[in-house]
Amino acid sequence: MAINLGDSEHEAAWRREVREFIRAQAPAALLSGGDQGENALFGRLGAIKEWRDKVAAKGWVAPSWPKKYGGAEMSVVDQFVMNEEFAEAGVPSNVGGFGVMMIGPTLIEHGTEEQKELHLGRIIRGEVLWCQGYSEPGAGSDLAALQTRAVRDGDDYVLNGQKIWTTGAQFSDWMYMLARTDPDAPKHRGITYLLVDMHSPGVTVRPLTTLAGQQTFNEVFFEDVRVPVKNRVGEENRGWYVGTTTLDFERSSIGTAIGVRKQLESLIRQAKSGSEASFARNPHVRLEFADRWVEAEVARMLSYRVVNMQVRKLIPNYEASMCKLFSSELGQRIANLSMHMFGMHGNVRNRAAMGYMQAVSSTIAGGTTEVQKGIIATRGLGLPRG
Annotation says 276 is catalytic? no
User: Residues 372, 214, 34, CA angle at the centre, nearest 5°?
Assistant: 75
On the question of pLDDT at 211 being above 80, the answer is: no
Domain assignment present for 185: yes
* pLDDT at residue 280 greater than cutoff 70: no
pLDDT at 350: 67
Kindly state whether residues 199 and 225 are assigned to the same domain: yes
Annotated catalytic residue, options 250, 276, 288, 319: 250
For residue 267, name the pLDDT band (cuts at 50, 70, 90): confident
Q: What is the pLDDT of residues 110-143, one digit of tens each?
A: 999 999 999 999 999 999 999 999 999 988 778 8
If one counts the domains in the chain, the total is: 3
What span, in angstroms and rounded, lies between the C-alpha atoms of 196 and 133? 9
pLDDT at 306 over 50: yes
Higher pLDDT, 197 or 359: 197
Do 368 and 165 form a contact (C-beta atoms < 8 A)?
no
Same domain, 173 and 269: no
**Looking at the predicted structure, is the pLDDT value of residue 37 above 50?**
no
155 and 85 within one domain: no
Q: Give the mean pLDDT of 158-182.
A: 96
- Residues 222, 262 within the same domain: no
Kindly report, residue by residue over 244-263, the tens digit of the pLDDT: 765 444 567 888 889 889 98
Domain that holds residue 183: 130-241
Question: 276 with 230, same domain?
Answer: no
Q: Name residues whose C-beta falls within 8 Å of residue 40's C-beta, 6 or more positions apart in sequence.
A: 32
CA atoms 266, 215, 243, 52: torsion sign: negative
pLDDT score of 348:
67
The pLDDT-based confidence of 48 (bands split at 50, 70, 90) is confident
Q: Of the residues 188, 219, 241, which one is the last residue of a structural domain?
A: 241
Whether the predicted pLDDT of 242 surpasses 50 = yes
Determine the distance from the C-alpha atom of residue 23 to the mean position of all C-alpha atoms in its chain, rounded to a whole number: 25
> Do 228 and 265 belong together in one domain?
no
> pLDDT higher for 352 or 159?
159
pLDDT at residue 277 in the model: 59
Residue 355 banded pLDDT, cuts 50, 70, 90 = confident
Last residue of a domain, one of 70, 95, 120: 95
- Residue 295 — φ and ψ, nearest 5°? -65, -35
Same domain, 293 and 369: yes
Q: Which of 95, 116, 150 represents a domain boundary (last residue)? A: 95
CATH number, domain containing residue 32: 1.10.540.10
Mean pLDDT, rounded, of the chain = 87
146 and 69 belong to one structural domain:
no
In this prediction, residue 38 carries a pLDDT of 40
